[in-house]
Amino acid sequence: MTRVLLIDDHPIVAQGCRYILEDAGVCELMEASTALAGYRLFRRRAPDVAIVDLALSGSGLAGLSLVRRLRAQAMRMPILVFSMHADPVIASRALEAGATGYLVKDTSAADLLEAFDKVRRGQPYISHQLALEVAMMSSRGRPGTMADLTPRELQALALLAEGKAYGQIADELGVSYKTVANTCSQLKSKLGAGNLAELIHRAIRYVATAPAGR
């Protein structure tokens, strides 16, 4: 059973997460309502996955510092940010800080389970719409490679950053598998990726983890 550390100071949210994850039989949940308590639990219990709110105890976005600290101590531990902020700037900063995935709290139980399952397997997760907004923000703020991408290439890049396969991307965009393959081939050339693994790495780097202001 996966051991999950949930750090969130909203009792109703914490209770909802517990019910959803435990009902699905996917976890043993440990809870903390402050960054300090969460970090101490992390050090003492070594969880398999962390779910972190960014706004803890009215402290703005102090959860970002906690994400950085957790990532520095556990390079491979999946971290899912579960936030009230549907802002691409905040999402990109959370992912830059080391989060594996970003999920907005105004979401369904199915979305939570999908995000949790992906990050637990080490795959990035960010909702399609938010990923696209981050990609568009990144393309406006970056000269060179990202600015040269077409709208379809940006969409494909956003979906790659979500961990989608070619067939899933084709379904999402309403195009053929061959079109997606050709688009990704063009992306490899534009972004200097030698293979699909490198392209996915660049998708995460350029789309999901692009810091604001660059």
| Domains within the chain, CATH numbers bracketed | 2-125 (3.40.50.2300), 129-208 (1.10.10.10)
Answer whether 92's CB lies under 8 Å from 211's CB. yes
Write the single-letter amino acid at 98.
G
Write the single-letter amino acid at 192.
G
One-letter-per-residue 3-state SS of 134-156: HHHHHHHHCCCCHHHCCHHHHHH
Query: Residue holding tokens 């693994």?
Result: 197
Q: Determine how many CB atoms are found less than 10 A away from the CB of residue 146.
A: 22
pTM to 2 decimal places: 0.67
Give the pLDDT of the chain (214 residues) as one tens digit per residue: 789 999 998 888 889 998 999 888 877 899 999 889 999 999 999 999 999 998 776 555 668 889 999 999 999 999 999 998 888 878 888 888 899 999 998 889 999 999 999 999 988 898 877 877 776 665 554 444 566 778 788 888 878 877 788 898 999 888 999 999 999 988 888 877 777 777 776 777 665 444 443 3
